[in-house]
């Protein structure tokens, strides 16, 4: 039974990009856990909760990406050593301060958004509407989260005048 009306050959680059995105999400997820566990200082309560929210969301996306690869009748990469090799996102120290953590995550978001754009491009070339739909929603959500983190990290006029 063939429920997909997509040329399997055209899916190879889509799956390659999805596997790279899967690898990047695994490293990103672990980084969020690291930051959640190791946040200290005046922003502890805000960021401890936010990082937990973000890693729970990343965990869901990891599963959805892997299941999309399986839906496309391919195999998701599943070894952490492969994730470390494939991912443009790199591990982070546990010794960062709150603002460094946020800037690091914003930088990681840029890498994730670049990868997602590549996935959508390849999926468009393969007429893979399911992948386009899935990743398009991820792009919108990650852009919003990035905006919120940037807003949190900006100095307000009151902070500038009290310095």
Domain extent listing, the chain: 10-153
Per-residue pLDDT of 133-148, as tens digits, reads 999 999 999 999 999 9
Per-residue pLDDT of 80-90, as tens digits, reads 999 999 999 99
Please name the residue that has the structure tokens 């929210």: 53
Inter-axis angle of helices 8-38 and 129-153, nearest 10: 30
**Is-contact 31 106, C-beta < 8 A?**
no
Please name the residue that has the structure tokens 């680059």: 13
Per-residue pLDDT of 1-59, as tens digits, reads 467 888 889 999 999 999 999 999 999 999 999 999 999 999 999 999 999 999 999 99
What are the contacts of 44-47 at 24+ separation with CB within 8 A?
46/152, 47/98, 47/101, 47/102
Name the pTM for this structure.
0.93
Per-residue pLDDT band for 78 (boundaries 50, 70, 90) equals very high
Residue, of 159 and 106, whose pLDDT is higher? 106
**Is-contact 65 18, C-beta < 8 A?**
yes
CA 27, chain centre distance (Å):
9
Compute CA distances 67 → 35, 76, 112, whole Å.
Answer: 27, 8, 18
Q: Classify domain 10-153 at the CATH class level.
A: mainly alpha
Task: Report the alpha-carbon angle 82-19-72, nearest 5.
Answer: 140
Q: Tokens representing 54? A: 């973000």
SS3 (DSSP) at 30:
helix
* Residue-level pLDDT at 4: 82
Per-residue pLDDT band for 161 (boundaries 50, 70, 90) equals low
CA separation for the pair 72, 65 (Å, rounded) = 11
Per-residue pLDDT of 98-126, as tens digits, reads 999 999 999 999 999 999 999 999 999 99
């Amino acid at each position: 039974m063939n429920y997909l009306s997509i040329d399997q050959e055209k899916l190879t680059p889509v799956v390659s990009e999805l596997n790279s995105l899967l690898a990047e999400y695994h490293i990103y997820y672990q980084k969020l856990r690291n930051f959640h566990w190791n946040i200290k200082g005046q922003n502890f309560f805000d960021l401890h909760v936010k990082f937990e929210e973000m890693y729970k969301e990343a965990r869901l996306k990891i599963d959805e990406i892997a299941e999309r690869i399986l839906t496309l009748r391919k195999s998701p990469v599943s070894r952490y050593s492969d994730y470390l090799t494939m991912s443009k996102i790199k591990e982070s120290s546990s010794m960062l301060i709150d603002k460094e953590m946020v800037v690091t995550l914003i930088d990681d978001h840029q890498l994730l958004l670049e990868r997602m754009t590549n996935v959508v491009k390849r999926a468009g070339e393969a007429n893979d509407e399911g992948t386009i739909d899935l990743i398009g929603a991820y792009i919108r959500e990650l852009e919003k989260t990035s905006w919120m983190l940037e807003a949190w990290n900006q100095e307000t006029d009151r902070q500038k005048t009290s310095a």
